Structure 1
Amino acid sequence: MVTLVIFIVVHFTEAEQFALLLSKAEPKWLFLAILLQIGTYLCAGFIWNQVIRSAQHRVPLGALARLSVEKLSIDQLVPMGGISGNLVVLQTMRRLGLPNWLAMEALLVDILSHYTAYAIVTFLALSILWFYHDITNIICYLVGIFAVILVIVPITILWLLAHRNNQLPLWLLRFHPIAKASETIKSVSPERVLSPRMLVITSLLNVTIFLLDAGTLWTMMRVTNYSVGIMTTFVAIVIASIAGTISFLPGGIGGFEAGSVSALALLGVPIETALTGTLLLRGFTLWFPLVPGILLVRHDVNIKL
């Protein structure tokens, strides 16, 4: 809970601005935004569910959607490149009765499909910007840096699967989490993890999450009484997500906002409106699920924050 308190104190101004903006919003737009965000958690649950069902196991979709909220919250509070949230996923899946190897398979498919979807939406966003002649040097730098991550992560997973039976150096095996992960990966099925059908379905679900977030930003722009196209908010979400990812800060705070506002302004949205819409979006994607997610983690995984 200490981590949560520190996080809230550090970002108190952003939370305060969100609360102020929220008090002036029309209920119908807020309700729509909530529905869209619930859709993102259900999609995340469906991704894991695809892998679990392919191995003839069953877990309620509601439990997996709940797990996606927990993962999001932990990743915001403990910025370790998604490692902290993934550890929660593995622990919770084991608590739900899944074997270690299946929990690992679900996690690997999730990561691979996430980066595949990232590549797809990045290409689409750049194509839209190119069509409107709005690709700037800064965007090129951002995408260039992100492309390195986009390549390294999947290649690392493929290498681990190809060499899963190789013995790790003894000094690495002294670390219990690494030794345990090494043993678990040996039981993973590369055929299931790298199944084209599986990756297509899960990648499309991840693309859907981007679209739902773009819809949420579009809704937030409506809250500000500004009409904007869904393609504009889609580009903003993608650029903001890239900027947030390479910032390596909790929840991408700072980088995400700068990326979103810059992209919206580039596509003709007034800066003040872009900033207001972005702050409202962050409230729904960060602040709303944060406290419930942390409470769920404390209950399910029994860890102190």
Structure 2
Amino acid sequence: MDDHRNKTKEMKEPSAASFWGPPASMRRRRLWYVPLLIGLSALAALILFIAHLSDITGFARQAANAKAGPMFAAVATQAAPYLLSALVWLMFLRRAATPMTLSSLVPLSFAKLFADQALPTGGLSGAAFFLFALTRRGVPDKIAFRTFTFTTTAYFLAFLIAAIVSLAMLSLAEKAPPALSASVSAFAAIFLFLTIAVALIILYKPTFSPSFIREHRFAAKAAEFAGAAVHDIRYMPSLFTKLAFILLASRAIDGLTLMLISEAIGAPISLWTGFVAVAIASIAATIGPAPMGLGTFEAGMIASLTVFGAGVEDALTATLIYRGLTLWLPLLPGFIIIQREFLQAREAAGPAEGQSDQNQT
């Protein structure tokens, strides 16, 4: 009888793929569309307000008459950030002695974008999907978590560097509003606090963990993985720095995309202006409550472009084309890839469950 109970318990033990399986927000129906509708309403209000200030026919004419050469170049350039994201994951996985190919990771870049942007879970859905997808490809769950933590920390470092530099340059612009200096000071203080906190955690890795974490199996496992990730950052600083610079270059490529779009509509800007505008828009989207940064991203980019001398109509046209190219267009392949991942996981789980039932019988 005890042997039968032990076998039953072992069969109920979750596998790595089920532990990092699709998040609850992907499995349960929620009113996720409420913040989405709010964001769409804010975006529509922003467009209508700017259209009231300018001639809406001029906006339509600009978009329709965009030069094909720079526009195709912008489309081609936007493939680079997805390749760089996959390259960052690949570099860490190779250091962790886990064989993977770049071609197997590139689709995850699109799928993670969909999970992060379309599902309003503060990035948790994208993290859960990424871990789920890696474990499905044979990556041990501990290494998958270390990969996510290491590369995500490098991403946030690149994001904060871009944000600080962009806010500083925006505040020094001739048409910058006086309130920007206060924003720069506040963001710089937050950046300094986060940098010190992360540095202390990495240098003085805490060994104490509360009892409720030790007693809960999943919490203890997550704490163990987090400790391993902190260890990685501490003892692989050169790799961490390389990944941060690669991800910072990815943000510069986004600025290049905006520069090419502006060139296509006949309102050229510099690469530096494009970099700053994308960084400020990303900050606004991060702070804003709407999913995908709807409304807030567009407002931040339009405001940044106008500060550097672009016309309101030109800024609106460039922003909407940029969003269509970098957000709405990649969501389609991302959705298809996510559905394929879950379908393949269900198909793989079906025969395994049938075999376990036969063994139990």
**For this structure pair, what is the TM-score category when the shorter chain's length is used for normalisation?**
0.7 to 0.9
Mapping 1:165-184, distance limit 5 Å: 165-170=207-212, 178-184=219-225
- Paired residues of 2:285 and 2:294 also in contact (CA < 8 A): yes
Cα shift at 1:260? 0.4
Find the counterpart in structure 1 of residue 173 from structure 2. 132
Structure showing greater Rg = 2
Deviates more, 1:146-155 or 1:177-186: 146-155
Find the counterpart in structure 1 of residue 320 from structure 2. 279
Residues 200-238 of structure 1: CA distance to partner in whole angstroms, max 9, x if unpaired? Answer: 111111111111110111111122211111111111111
- Please tell me the root mean square deviation across aligned C-alpha atoms, in Å: 3.5
- Paired residues of 1:79 and 1:248 also in contact (CA < 8 A): no
SS at match of 2:256: helix
Identity %: 28
Cα shift at 1:259? 0.7
Could you tell me the TM-score, scaled by structure 1's length?
Answer: 0.83
Could you tell me the TM-score, scaled by structure 2's length?
Answer: 0.71
Paired residue type of 2:212: L
Find the counterpart in structure 2 of residue 100 from structure 1. 141
Find the counterpart in structure 1 of residue 5 from structure 2. none
The answer to whether 1:47 aligns with 2:64 is: no
- Paired residues of 1:125 and 1:235 also in contact (CA < 8 A): yes
Paired residue type of 2:121: M
Question: Partners in 2 of 1:110 and 1:49 — Cα distance?
Answer: 10
- Paired residues of 1:215 and 1:233 also in contact (CA < 8 A): yes
Cα shift at 1:240? 0.8
Paired residue type of 2:140: P
Aligned length: 302
Paired residue type of 1:68: S
Paired residue type of 2:331: L
Residues 57-103 of structure 1: CA distance to partner in whole angstroms, max 9, x if unpaired? Answer: 22111222211111111111122322221111111111121112211
Residues 108-160 of structure 1: CA distance to partner in whole angstroms, max 9, x if unpaired? Answer: 12222112212322233244335534543443455456557646766369648
Q: 1:212 aligns with which of 253, 256, 262?
A: 253
Alignment CA distance shift 1:22-1:267 (3 Å)? closer
Paired residue type of 1:167: S
The answer to whether 1:290 aligns with 2:350 is: no
Find the counterpart in structure 1 of residue 158 from structure 2. 117
The answer to whether 1:236 aligns with 2:277 is: yes
Cα shift at 1:161? 9.1
Question: Partners in 2 of 1:90 and 1:161 — Cα distance?
Answer: 26
Question: Partners in 2 of 1:49 and 1:75 — Cα distance?
Answer: 20
Deviates more, 1:91-100 or 1:263-272: 91-100
The answer to whether 1:269 aligns with 2:303 is: no
Find the counterpart in structure 1 of residue 122 from structure 2. 81
Question: Partners in 2 of 1:63 and 1:188 — Cα distance?
Answer: 23
Paired residue type of 1:196: P
